[in-house]
Amino acid sequence: MADLGFVGLGTMGAPIVRRLLASGHRVVGYNRNAERARALIEAGMGWAATPGQAAAAADITFTMVTDASALEAVCSGPDGILAGLRPGSILADISTVGPEAIEALAPRLVERGCELVDAPISGSPSAVDQGRASFMIGGSEPAVARVTPILEGLGSGVTYVGPVGCGALMKLACNIQVAVPFMALAEALVLAEKGGISRQSALAVLLKSATMSPALAFRAPFTLASPRPAPFAVEMMEKDLGLILNHGRQLAVPLPTTAATAQMLSAAHAVGLADEDFSAIFGVLARLAGIEDQA
């Protein structure tokens, strides 16, 4: 069992910590909104008043935050993770941030005798609860070897993809496969419905088709009824696709279907759906086609 710190106890962080505690690990956690940690504290998690306190109690500290700005905020300053890390410890970021943020942070840990690994999670909160989440991990092989057994206890597997920053890049690539296929599904449903086939019938056909993936099968029913709370909000996927497109420009990689999907997310955001699951792009497309959204 390990002494772990965990910073970020939101939609994804909370179920991860529950599984860590259930596995017998000692976890000290921090969240900007302390009220969200109450149930975890009752389940046995220790509470830290600052990110640095969480790191000071741990051999490995995990961060699960919204974006690169939030990662910088919890890492920097006198109360930040970098100030609290013990020499020889590891910071493992499991958020979805750009490779540039990870590559800029890594040398700052080395200066303190520590290491950074980037191990973004793939999966929804329900996948975490069911032990079906997976991780892609980048970093030095010794650091990765220390973190991997902890992550393997959380889900279906860990894949080493290369040096620091590669985990973050691979997560961006994965999220193309989450967002863009749903956009294609939305187009297929709207085409069928506008032509006179009921949405339910079209959805039943698509769910049985050879093109259906587990990620699509999970989200496809959201075209009939919007989920509460949103597993993956419009504004979060919009942020991720922005990172993807920026990195694509840096690498001179054309990403036309990603760009089109990003535009639909921007449209959903513009009409007040930022907090809805990103499947809300179906409703936007349906309205553009003159179909009343049922969700």
User: 132 with 66, same domain?
Assistant: yes
For the chain, the first-to-last Cα distance in angstroms comes to 45
**DSSP 8-state code for residue 127:** H
What are 198-224's pLDDT values in tens digits?
Answer: 999 999 999 999 989 988 999 999 999
pLDDT digits (tens, 9 = 90+) for 208-267: 999 899 889 999 999 999 998 898 999 999 999 999 999 999 999 999 999 999 999 999
List residues bridging with 110 in a β-sheet. Answer: none
Domain boundary among 141, 164, 187: 164
Question: What are 269-285's pLDDT values in tens digits?
Answer: 999 999 999 999 999 99
The rounded distance, in Å, linking the Cα atoms of 253 and 60 is 35
Regarding whether 249 and 155 lie in a shared domain, the answer is no
pLDDT for 171-182, tens place per residue? Answer: 999 999 999 999
Six-digit token pair at 205? Answer: 């056909």
CB atoms within 10 A of CB 159: 13
Same domain, 59 and 159: yes
pLDDT in tens, 6-44: 999 998 999 999 999 999 999 999 999 888 899 999 999
Q: Which of 164, 180, 210 is the last residue of a domain?
A: 164
- Helix, strand or coil, per DSSP, at residue 134: strand
**Mean pLDDT score across all residues of the chain:** 95
pLDDT of residue 46 exceeding 60: yes
pLDDT for 295 beyond 60: no
- Report if pTM > 0.75: yes
Could you list the residue range(s) of the whole structural domain that residue 30 is in?
Answer: 3-164
133 and 12 part of one domain: yes
What pLDDT score was predicted for residue 126? 84
Q: Considering only CA atoms, which of 19, 91, 106, 102 is closest in space to residue 54?
A: 91
Q: Do 97 and 191 belong to one domain?
A: no
pLDDT computed for residue 293 by the predictor? 62
Q: Is residue 269 part of a domain?
A: yes
